[in-house]
Amino acid sequence: MKKMMIFMLLLPFYLYAHTLVLSVFDNGDDTINIKGMFNTGESAAGAMVRLEALSSHEVLFEQRLSDESELVTKIPEVPYIIILDGGPGHSTKHEGIPPKEGFKQEVKKQVKAKKPQEKPNRMSMKLSSSVAVNVSILIAFILLFATIFVSVRNTNKLLLAIKESQKE
């Protein structure tokens, strides 16, 4: 019984364990498709994607993932690394794919006008539909109903015992 109780207490921690997965695909037209998600299947929408030059660590591109957890961008002309930042403890890196002509030796600075970034609000956040979350909710409801059932049964036993003791 104790082993089962320990297992039930530790199960939610196992179910919530997840890692960030970064996939990069060459579209063949000097653009890349960057996709991010958690290994549980949960969307990584809103995670920050950065392309940094390897030599100067200059940020070449920075944008948040869309609701589809992916974005398309032009391949930089200098060697770079792709960083997907999904929040504290959720960051992953991937070596950049070279363009068709290969990387240029010179490191040119690209100046981009930054757009003000919108802060994600609760209405635009995607509701979680991962299997781990669904299983955890199901287990929580099963435990809730089991607790109510046992409580009602014990209450009825106590009431019956009180009635029998009053008859004597």
137-148 pLDDT, tens digit each: 899 999 999 999
What's the pLDDT at 152?
A: 95
The answer to whether residue 100 scores a pLDDT higher than 60 is yes
Q: CB atoms < 10 A from the CB of 149, how many?
A: 10
The answer to whether residue 127 scores a pLDDT higher than 60 is no
What's the pLDDT at 107?
A: 46
Q: CB atoms < 10 A from the CB of 74, how many?
A: 13
* Cβ within 8 Å of residue 59, ≥6 positions away: 50, 51, 52
d(CA 149, CA 155): 10
* Cβ within 8 Å of residue 141, ≥6 positions away: none
Domain architecture of the chain: domains with CATH: 2-10+130-167 (no CATH), 19-126 (2.60.40.10)
62-90 tens-digit pLDDT: 988 888 888 999 988 889 999 988 777 77
Would you say 92 and 65 are in contact if contact means Cβ atoms under 8 Å apart? no
Percent with pLDDT over 90 in the chain = 22
What are the strands, taking DSSP E only, across 48-153? Answer: 48-53, 59-64, 70-74, 80-85, 91-95
* Cβ within 8 Å of residue 88, ≥6 positions away: none
Mean pLDDT (whole number) for 85-112: 73
35-58 tens-digit pLDDT: 988 777 777 888 889 999 888 888
Looking at the whole model, is its pTM more than 0.95?
no
Phi, psi of 100 (to 5 degrees): -55, -40
